[in-house]
Amino acid sequence: MSEDGKTALVCAPVVALVKHESALVRRGLNDLARFALRKARVLLVNDHRTLLEEMERILTAGRYEVCSTHRYEDAANLASAFLEARGLRFEPFGHWVQHGLPAREFDPQFLMVGASTPTALIEQLWNLHVSVGATIFWGEQGELESLERRLGYCPDALAIPLDGDEVLHRMGLLLAEAWTTNGCSLDAAERHLEAFECHEKALGLDPLCVSAWINRGNCLNRMGRPAEAVQSYEKAAEADPSDYRPWVRKASVLLNYMTRPEEAVQACDTALRINPAGTAAWQSRGDALQDLGRCQEAILCYDRIIAMDLTAMGSTAYGARVYSDAWSAKGRAFGRMGRHEDSIACCDKAISLDPDLSVPYRTKALCLEQLRRFEDAIRCYDKALELSQGKASYWNDKAVCLGMMGKFEESILCCENALASEVPPVLGWYYKAYALESLGRMQEAASCYEKYLVLAPTEADPGCTEYAKARLLDFKSKTKASRQPAVG
């Protein structure tokens, strides 16, 4: 019998690789159920008790017969007992076989493996990839029916016959999703190179895996390679033109990391043509329009979000965060238009929806400062600093406010806090120089102005740059004049 003439049927009821996130478990169980025989018998092994209970609940509700343990060392013994009662035997680290039956022909009741570390997951993925052929029975329909009768299965519970290439293809798609998910965990742990390799492995298995292209782009952006990230999002859009997510991610990188707001608006427009209800696309579009000075148009974008019914988006907290972001951004737009009271009202609404966000406190503080309500502004800056764990730009903002209050010593301390951050903001040197000059400490101020001019990027505020140059020139000319010998 030729290889091409055989029929491939999946005999393994359930094969899954899962991590400790319940959402991924649920998705994995739902996706992999199509490989399962009805009323499949499954052995679960996972050292995360809460996750194990969730897996049991899902499978039991689906009428699977479940045996489980949270101790990996107990798994082999449980598997042996689990199968022995059914006339099967278990060979640890090998295939599960019926007495005298070749392993390549029968590999049933595969256990669901939980991985506690990314490395363990990679190892399990590779082992599954190598052994996937052993989970398929190659033979004629009659041979399989004979095998099923010998094993006591009910013939009407058989899996649907699939072409062997199709089975391997489906398994490859699942492996690709698992690889890129693992890459996300590595990315979150700041192990970006390893994460990138996982996303590349996923795309090797499934070149059209949209999530892998998107996650690869996110990884590249975190590695400081935004242009390559954009290219990855474009590949994701090519893989599935009906998916709006790549366009949203592209817009975010163009706006926040490449200072290309016009292109960001175009990307958002494409995303919204695909999904007009995409809140992230409306938010990014509004933010890009603000950067282009088109604040009234930006407000219309935020109003679209505020008018939406987000009850179907999941948790109440998630919906509140989306609404809060929209109100906060609307407040920023009003602030840019000089409508400070309207801005404060929007910020208060954002804070009432989600009091743990720092941005609306900062926006409110800037508006209070413009209204010369300095003490109220300082309280908002302090709250923003508390919630952001000392964001450097917020220290600079507070320094400016204190300078406007004439509290230059306190302003200098804020600048020093900003400059002590992991990525010191260049403006910290400018604000510190201004405060020092206001205290008459001209030599120290000149040194700070010099550092600012050396470090300031070419696109820095021209007003600050020109002022720093003028003050430095004035200081140097006065110093030179004071050193001239007296004539007489």
Among 378, 462, 393, smallest CA distance to 431 is for 393
CA distances from 485 to 216, 438, 477, 478 (A): 67, 29, 15, 14
Measured between alpha carbons, how far is 302 from 360 in angstroms, rounded to an integer? Answer: 14
User: Quick one: fold of 7-160?
Assistant: Rossmann fold (3.40.50)
Q: What is the pLDDT along the chain (488 residues), one digit of tens a residue?
A: 222 222 222 222 222 333 323 443 444 444 444 444 444 455 565 556 666 676 677 666 655 566 666 654 555 555 555 445 545 444 433 333 333 322 222 222 233 333 333 334 334 444 444 443 333 333 444 444 554 444 443 333 333 333 444 444 555 566 677 678 777 767 776 889 988 998 998 898 789 989 999 999 999 999 999 999 999 999 999 999 999 999 999 999 999 999 999 999 999 999 999 999 999 999 999 999 999 999 999 999 999 999 998 765 544 667 788 999 999 999 999 999 999 999 999 999 999 999 999 999 999 999 999 999 999 999 999 999 999 999 999 999 999 999 999 999 999 999 999 999 888 889 999 999 999 999 999 999 999 999 999 998 877 788 898 998 998 888 888 776 666 665 54
Enter the pTM of the model.
Answer: 0.65
Looking at residue 459, what DSSP letter applies? T
Measured between alpha carbons, how far is 76 from 280 in angstroms, rounded to an integer? Answer: 47
Strand order in the sheet with 65-69: 17-18, 112-114, 41-45, 65-69
Measured between alpha carbons, how far is 350 from 328 in angstroms, rounded to an integer? Answer: 5
Backbone angles phi, psi at 373, to 5 degrees: -100, 70
